[in-house]
A and B are shown apart, each in its own frame.
Chain A
Amino acid sequence: MIDNHNESFSCPEVQGRLDDLFKSNEKTFVDRGIELYPDDYPLIELKSLVLSLDWEITDEIITDFMMHTDNLTEFYRNDKVILKFLHILRALGKYIDANRSKAHPDCFKILNSVFFALDDVILTKDISRSETEKLLKIEIENYKKLRKLVSNRKLTKSREKEQYSLTKNVPKIVKDDKIDCFQVKSESHMLIVSQKQLNDLKNDIKQFIHSEFIGLRDELKNLK
């Protein structure tokens, strides 16, 4: 016989327990970790490119980055402060494009800093002019520091080059008939290179080209 008293464990009490246990949160979509942007947020594409640059620096990403900064420059042509932010971003983009792995490591930090400052400016409703200018000033200072670091680096490298390199001009290689060697003539240095050293150098270059071809061939095979 089925025990009808079982019904006393059914719906109302159990339901209540289950409702308490699985009480749904009225907030269905707003989560602290997720940023919600207005539909017309103008920096969305640029943001994804800035984040992409953090992961990988490719021609495509940099080209798109430059293109979007140009578009935004047009869009904000009447806002001098925002234009300045974009101007710095553009300059950084150009620098990274031109230098790639030789770029100063800090430029990526500055790029992110400038972008997120701009992001704050755009997203903060009713941000005052003075606050905007304050944020801009900080980023301009950061940018100037970076430029100084970059120019100091260039100076150090050119001094090192002067000390150890051969010449400003392309050195001429002249065979000296008296001895079995070549003389590299330059304004600052005379470097005697023996026949053997030159042959070794040629072999090294050949080996390098050979290994590069092997690498290229493998890459082509993989593409197929």
Chain B
Amino acid sequence: MAFVNLKKKEIQAKIVYYGPGRGGKTTNIEYIYKNFEDRIDSKMVAIKTQGDRTLFFDFFPFNIGRINGYKIKIQLYTVPGQVKYNATRRVVLNGADGVVFVADALAVQRKANIISLKNLQENLKHYQKNIFKVPFVFQYNKMDLLKKEVPILPLEALTGDLNEQLNRPSFVASALEGTNVVATLKKIIIMTVASIKMSLQ
């Protein structure tokens, strides 16, 4: 639940990047951090394994300025995608106000995407949150691999597998190259802030 500080006139919103292992969640955050760090006066925290895989979470907070007199502070988190880290994912998901699901467009990851989405639904349920109601955006990542002739899932397959029932905004992206990384982030922030505004009224 977003935290509203009536004294400081500040809203803190938590957005979690979720998805299968090596899907590009950390790459998304790293892209934003590296490309906007001169404008964003905060550091990114990453807790990784020696193999450079997310062990606990990545964290990156930043302000987006004032809206209706309230300072909006966005806190971006990623979860570890590997299956064995479910307990950690659940911990990090606590208090999430918005979710970006970073699906891996690699053909070999088709099943992993579905399992991860199901896992997200279960973990949200643990906090009495409904995946159909939480501010949610899909990102179909690694589309840059099309140029390299690596087998990629077609958009129809990705949408059919993941978004048919949820029917949420989605972006085709390349976190490595930065394509639609910012667009994804902007969309989820807008949806999250709108949702918070509604719940406050």
Please say whether the chains A and B touch (CB closer than 8 A). no
A residues at B contact (CB < 8 Å): none
